[in-house]
């Protein structure tokens, strides 16, 4: 027991000064050492929730020895055995959960007090210097030990006046989450009316000369709690502060996401649906090129095989980086011969019926089905119709695409019509048979390809369907993007500039350009989007950044 540290803590409280502390839930004693080095007034080691065992608890206590940081242990229950054990290994006090009545509080204080006033047994452990300081320790322990009950139920609030009259404790802590649960709002930090209950109970305790504590949820809340009259202020939980820092850093790079209770990351769709907007884009993502809107036929035209024409929409000609996209038209019966690339390729059929052969694996696809082929896999494409053309959207993870013709026999195998990824090979997505997700209001998306679906893939992309009013939030990317409008008419807003797009018009959005798409028509609008990055990551920003040029990139 660090008597001097306890007395200094009490002196600060008596002079109406705040005392700041950290709630420790992680096992590394280095966390407690950091708190001590930063001069925190107190730490609470949480032995009620989480995984800490007694060996880890004593290591935390040791990390604060010979310091002015008071060490409390929050116990799993109001138990004389647990109170005795925590104090015997050197804790300066105990935090008692779920105290609801004066009798419960009196029992906890008795368990922390030596006879004749209490029932605490004398042990030959750290508190008594392993039996070498019985007399010294027992002479000072009762007057200094801290017993801190937690008010965390509606019943405790109802009994707060009786609790305030119990001698032997001068500090009370509040647990808003459990209090909310007992008030009928499980899972909320402060449910409706709970904030008022806490403040009312705090006022009763302060009037009785007691001091009150609570954990803050962030910096602003910390200031608010101090202004409300709380003196024992928790700056946060160690794990919570770590996560807060991680969220902030990840958000600055467009990588933030919300955790799931199952600890699963089902796909990047989940992350997109739960982003947190930031006020402005980071300066290091300031773009060096403007957006380019491309109508059909406005870019290079190339006959890549007899009856097969490539209309390049995004590529080296408009300064795209690591990305080429366009439209490929097959006359009836046309065949693109077997070939391979040193980069990934995505093939999405827009009109007609086609056969895609990947090293002998045959896939028959219809409109808006996609086949994505990683680098170095031989493949060929055939228009199955002898009467009508076929139209494809293609994307390649290169701004300077080239191909190598392949003259090799592959054993034929007709593949079932089911969305699948061949191990180490291609991925096929049948649009009507795959789940969709929503990255924005009235919008439904499907991921065709990315690094999660095809590990090692250099690009990502998919299909998006927008109903009337459907839109995406204002956002930007850390890579170039191609967006082809394959149905209806879209409005594209880029830093105050508005564009109307339809009939396979394709936008090149360079890295860093803040933009969004919206369907302002009664009819559906759909797009094929491709990112020159392996995962569909974006940084969502304040709406004004997309509609006011001066806000987007202030000078």
CATH number for the domain including 357? Answer: 2.60.120.10
Residues 426 and 465 in one domain: no
In a domain, 46, yes or no: yes
Q: Is the pLDDT of residue 27 over 90?
A: yes
Please report the DSSP string for 448-475 in residue order: EE-TTTSTT-S-EEEEEEE-TT-B--SE
Q: Is the pLDDT of residue 269 over 80?
A: no
Residues 451 and 424 in one domain: no
| Per-residue pLDDT, 255 | 60
Q: Is the pLDDT of residue 547 over 90?
A: no
| Per-residue pLDDT, 291 | 95
| Per-residue pLDDT, 511 | 94
Which among 405, 431, 437 has a CA at the least distance from the CA of 419?
431
Q: Is the pLDDT of residue 520 over 50?
A: yes
In a domain, 260, yes or no: no
Residues 158 and 47 in one domain: yes
The mean pLDDT of the chain is 92
Residues 186 and 334 in one domain: no
Cis peptide bond upstream of 370, omega within 30 = no
| The last residue of a domain, from among 185, 217, 247 | 247
Residues 241 and 303 in one domain: no
Three-class SS state of 283: helix
Question: Which secondary structure element, helix H or strand E, spans residue 414, and what is its range?
Answer: strand 413-414
| Per-residue pLDDT, 266 | 47
Residues 156 and 11 in one domain: yes
In a domain, 240, yes or no: yes
Contacts 24+ apart (CB under 8 A), 403-409: 403/339, 403/340, 403/341, 404/339, 404/340, 404/341, 405/337, 405/338, 405/339, 406/338, 406/339, 406/340, 406/378, 407/338, 408/338, 408/378
Residues 77 and 211 in one domain: yes
Q: Where residue 257 falls among pLDDT bands split at 50, 70, 90?
A: low
In a domain, 263, yes or no: no
| Per-residue pLDDT, 427 | 92
Q: Which residues contact 266 (CB under 8 A, 6 or more apart)?
A: 260
| Per-residue pLDDT, 280 | 75
CA distances from 547 to 141, 245, 489, 490 (A): 66, 30, 20, 16
Alpha-carbon gap, residue 531 to 524, rounded angstroms: 23
End-to-end Cα spacing for the chain: 58
| The last residue of a domain, from among 430, 461, 476 | 430
> 91 in the Ramachandran plot: left (φ > 0), alpha (ψ -120 to 50) or beta?
beta
In a domain, 24, yes or no: yes
Residues 459 and 413 in one domain: no
The pairing of beta strand 345-351 with beta strand 324-330: unpaired
211 is catalytic: no
| Per-residue pLDDT, 550 | 74
Highest mean pLDDT among 99-108, 249-258, 541-550: 99-108
In a domain, 272, yes or no: no
Name the residue range of residue 15's domain: 3-247
Work out the average pLDDT over 315-324.
Answer: 95
The pairing of beta strand 413-414 with beta strand 361-365: parallel
Q: What is the pLDDT of residues 157-173, one digit of tens each?
A: 999 999 999 999 999 99
Which position among 49, 317, 341, 477 bears the catalytic label?
49
Residues 33 and 108 in one domain: yes
Work out the average pLDDT over 86-113.
Answer: 98
Q: Is the pLDDT of residue 264 over 60?
A: no
Alpha-carbon gap, residue 542 to 552, rounded angstroms: 9
Counting the structural domains of the chain, the total is 3
Q: Is the pLDDT of residue 225 over 50?
A: yes
Work out the average pLDDT over 510-530.
Answer: 94
| Per-residue pLDDT, 453 | 87
Q: Is the pLDDT of residue 178 over 90?
A: yes
Q: Which two tokens stand for residue 309?
A: 């024409």
In a domain, 261, yes or no: no
Residues 76 and 177 in one domain: yes
Residue 23, domain CATH:
3.20.20.60
Q: Which residues contact 136 (CB under 8 A, 6 or more apart)?
A: none
Work out the average pLDDT over 474-482.
Answer: 93
Residues 408 and 485 in one domain: no
Q: Is the pLDDT of residue 275 over 80?
A: no
Q: Which two tokens stand for residue 112?
A: 């922390």
| The last residue of a domain, from among 222, 247, 272 | 247
496-527 residues labelled b (16+ CB within 10 A) or e (exposed): eeeeebeebbbbbbbbbbbbbbbbebeeebbb
Three-class SS state of 131: coil
In a domain, 99, yes or no: yes
Residues 463 and 414 in one domain: no
- Using only C-alpha atoms, the chain has a radius of gyration, in whole angstroms, of 33
């Amino acid at each position: 027991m660090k008597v001097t540290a306890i007395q200094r803590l009490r002196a600060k409280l008596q002079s109406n000064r705040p005392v700041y502390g950290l709630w420790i839930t992680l096992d590394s004693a280095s966390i407690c050492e950091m708190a001590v080095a930063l001069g925190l007034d107190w730490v609470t080691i949480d032995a009620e929730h989480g995984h800490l065992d007694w060996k880890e608890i004593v290591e935390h206590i040791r990390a604060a020895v010979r310091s002015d940081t008071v060490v409390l242990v929050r116990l799993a229950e109001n138990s004389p055995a647990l109170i005795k054990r925590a104090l015997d290994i050197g804790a300066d006090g105990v935090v008692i959960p779920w105290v609801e009545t004066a009798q419960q509080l009196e029992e906890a204080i008795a368990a922390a007090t030596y006879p004749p006033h209490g029932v605490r047994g004398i042990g030959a452990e750290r508190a008594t210097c392993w039996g070498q300081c019985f007399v010294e320790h027992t002479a000072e322990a009762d007057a200094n030990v801290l017993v801190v009950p937690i008010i965390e139920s509606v019943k405790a609030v109802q009994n707060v006046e009786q609790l305030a009259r119990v001698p032997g404790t001068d500090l009370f802590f509040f647990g808003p989450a459990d209090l909310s649960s007992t008030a009928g709002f499980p899972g909320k930090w402060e449910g409706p009316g709970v904030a008022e209950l806490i403040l009312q109970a705090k006022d009763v305790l302060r009037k009785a000369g007691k001091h009150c504590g609570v954990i803050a949820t962030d910096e602003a809340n910390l200031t608010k709690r101090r202004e409300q009259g709380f003196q024992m202020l928790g700056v946060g939980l160690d794990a919570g502060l770590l996560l807060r820092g991680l969220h902030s850093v990840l958000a600055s790079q467009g990588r933030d996401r919300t955790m799931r209770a199952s600890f699963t990351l089902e796909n990047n769709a989940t992350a997109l649906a739960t982003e947190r907007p930031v006020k402005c884009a980071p300066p290091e993502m300031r773009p060096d090129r403007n957006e380019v809107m491309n109508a059909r036929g406005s870019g290079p035209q190339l006959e890549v095989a007899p009856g097969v024409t490539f209309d390049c929409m995004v590529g080296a000609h408009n300064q795209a980086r690591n990305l080429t996209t366009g439209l490929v038209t097959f006359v009836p019966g046309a065949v693109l011969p077997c070939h391979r690339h040193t980069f990934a390729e995505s093939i999405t059929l827009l009109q007609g019926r086609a056969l895609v052969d990947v090293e002998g694996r045959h896939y028959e696809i219809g409109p808006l089905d996609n086949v994505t082929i990683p680098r170095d896999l031989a493949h060929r494409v055939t228009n199955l119709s002898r009467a009508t053309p076929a139209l494809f959207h293609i994307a390649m993870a290169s701004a300077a695409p080239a191909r190598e013709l392949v003259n090799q026999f592959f054993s034929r195998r007709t593949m079932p019509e089911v969305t699948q990824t061949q191990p180490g090979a291609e991925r096929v997505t049948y649009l009507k048979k795959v789940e969709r997700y929503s990255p924005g209001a009235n919008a439904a998306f499907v991921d065709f390809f990315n690094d999660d679906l095809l590990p090692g893939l250099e690009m990502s992309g998919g299909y998006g369907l927008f109903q009337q009013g459907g839109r995406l939030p204002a956002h930007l990317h850390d890579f170039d993007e191609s967006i082809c409008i394959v149905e209806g008419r879209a409005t594209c807003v880029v830093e105050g500039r508005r564009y109307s797009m339809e009939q396979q018009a394709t936008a090149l959005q360079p890295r860093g350009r803040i933009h969004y798409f919206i369907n302002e028509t009664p009819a559906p609008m759909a797009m094929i989007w491709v990112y020159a990055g392996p995962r569909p990551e974006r940084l969502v920003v304040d709406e004004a950044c997309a509609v006011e040029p001066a806000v987007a990139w202030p000078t």
